[in-house]
Structure 1
Amino acid sequence: MKYKTVLFDFDGTLMDTSRGILYCAKRTIEDMGFELPDDMTLRKFIGPPLKLSFVNVCGMSDEQAAKAVQHYRERYAEEGMLEADIYPGMEKLLQNLGNSGVTCAVASVKMEKIVRKTLAHFDLTGYFDAICGAPEDINIKGKEAIVKEAVSRTNSSPEDCILIGDSDYDAKGAQAAGIDFCAVLWGFGFSRMEDAAKFTCRYIADDVSLLERFLLK
């Protein structure tokens, strides 16, 4: 085994949460009185910290974005949280990692309580030794602290860990936290091999079976 501890990003890596995220983002943008971006641009809401998306995608001020985050979170907890699917083959991968003695954890910029509720709903909690997400603070701008927290909660050494993720936020968070990174192309950040190759990746996986081969063989 290459790594003793495998950290997984949540949105776009473990689960396809696009239905709930995009629905709630659209409703929030409309309620805030801003023009809806096109569908491709709207997908930029999946992955990065939420407040940054309202600023960067919609052009909201800091104050407007803060209000939008609160509005989104309320709607998402009521209507969007469970509009998700685990990616095909992912649960089997988690089973195989656990059976091989690998410690698994989640490291996400989504609020931790939402990640926990979603995983519990889909009966996935038991695969993880730690579930680390964002605190209530809406001003989070990156993933470094969350990755470090996941390493700490699993009692792991950075050199034994790798983060699996689908975006530049994941790649930058892993690098800043001093751990290896593996990019996946089935999510919403990296759509091409060339996009992921701009970052330091130990591996770039087109599908879950290739990710499993990299991690366990």
Structure 2
Amino acid sequence: MPYSLLLFDYDGTLCDTRRAIKHAMRRTFEIMGYPPPDEALMDEAVGRGLLLTEMLLWLHPPGTPPLPAVWVDTYRAIYNTESEALVTLFPGAEQVLMAASANGRELVVISNKGLPLLENSLSRFGLRHYFSLILGDTPDRQLPLKPDPAMFTQAIQPRFPAISLSATLMIGDTTPDLLFARNCGIASCWASYGFGEEDDNLPLRPTYCINTLPDLLPLLA
């Protein structure tokens, strides 16, 4: 069925941030005096859709002291100043957003990434104007991040009260995205071209699976 409200994940769905994340992670470990994380472990951490603190703990050498907050601050500073330039759009991103907007769809980005970074990145790619709402992490965040449904029930639904659950679709590439959709009671679309692994995501039975972003176009007709 056609959907009136499309919720897009950012990392691994609209934008390819793998190089950017791994660069910032390697540089963070270097600055903190540790050897760079194993490439395969970094790929696994990205594919699981871990939060930044979870990712740092995942990659932190076992037996070392607990991570101080400076690790998170260092990573974010490096990402903002060095890694953002490494981010690229997935093919067809603007085509899909343009078609959705032209067909009167409401578009939202909902991500566990920092909100200022999301705003800057989408503006850099000339995509910001397509979105009615952008939701991400902030220092004074009051609502839990995906897969908790609070951002949907308390931030998105009040913004679009006339749009039903059945007319809402979440598009994402990792398990937090699909679990978020399930927790919200809305349809889900797994972006298989992104970072998530098939073995982790297909068992969650997404409503749709796409191999490229333009595969969404029939749902916008």
Same fold by TM-score greater than 0.5? yes
- 3-state DSSP class of the match of 2:209? strand
CA distance in 2, matches of 1:75, 1:202: 37
- Using the TM superposition, give the Cα deviation of residue 65 of structure 1 relative to its aligned residue in structure 2, in angstroms: 5.6
1:162-204 CA-to-partner distances (Å, cap 9, x unmatched) read: 11000011111222223221101111113x3x44221031101
Paired residue for 1:50? 52
CA distance in 2, matches of 1:34, 1:23: 14
- Using the TM superposition, give the Cα deviation of residue 43 of structure 1 relative to its aligned residue in structure 2, in angstroms: 2.2
- Using the TM superposition, give the Cα deviation of residue 212 of structure 1 relative to its aligned residue in structure 2, in angstroms: 1.9
- Over the aligned positions, Cα root-mean-square deviation in angstroms equals 2.5
Cα 1:33–1:157 shift into 2, 3 Å: farther
Cα 1:67–1:140 shift into 2, 3 Å: farther
1:133 aligns with 2:136: yes
* Aligned-partner residue type, residue 30 of structure 2: E
Identify which range, 102-111 or 47-56, moves more after superposition: 47-56
Matches within 5 A, 1:1-12: 1-12=1-12
Cα 1:137–1:28 shift into 2, 3 Å: farther
* Aligned-partner residue type, residue 21 of structure 2: I
CA distance in 2, matches of 1:45, 1:150: 28
Identify which range, 110-119 or 72-81, moves more after superposition: 72-81
Cα 1:151–1:68 shift into 2, 3 Å: farther
- 3-state DSSP class of the match of 1:21? helix
Identify which range, 36-45 or 199-208, moves more after superposition: 36-45
TM-score norm. by structure 1 comes to 0.87
- Using the TM superposition, give the Cα deviation of residue 40 of structure 1 relative to its aligned residue in structure 2, in angstroms: 2.3
1:46-78 CA-to-partner distances (Å, cap 9, x unmatched) read: 332100111123257895163311111111111
Paired residue for 1:176? 183
Matches within 5 A, 1:81-92: 81-92=84-95
* Aligned-partner residue type, residue 108 of structure 2: A
CA distance in 2, matches of 1:9, 1:113: 15
Structure 2 stretches lacking a partner, 5+ long: none
CA distance in 2, matches of 1:50, 1:140: 14
CA distance in 1, matches of 2:89, 2:179: 24
On the 8 A contact 1:51/1:66 being kept in 2, the answer is no
TM-score norm. by structure 2 comes to 0.86
Matched length: 214
Paired residue for 2:26? 26
Matches within 5 A, 1:162-201: 162-190=169-197, 192=198, 194-201=199-206
* Aligned-partner residue type, residue 58 of structure 2: N
Cα 1:101–1:65 shift into 2, 3 Å: farther
On the 8 A contact 1:6/1:102 being kept in 2, the answer is yes
Cα 1:100–1:196 shift into 2, 3 Å: same
- Using the TM superposition, give the Cα deviation of residue 147 of structure 1 relative to its aligned residue in structure 2, in angstroms: 3.9
- 3-state DSSP class of the match of 1:82? helix
Paired residue for 2:75? 72
Structure 1 stretches lacking a partner, 5+ long: none
* Aligned-partner residue type, residue 54 of structure 1: L
Higher relative contact order (CA 8 A, sep 6+): 2
1:97 aligns with 2:103: no
Cα 1:181–1:59 shift into 2, 3 Å: farther
Identify which range, 117-126 or 130-139, moves more after superposition: 130-139
Cα 1:157–1:83 shift into 2, 3 Å: same
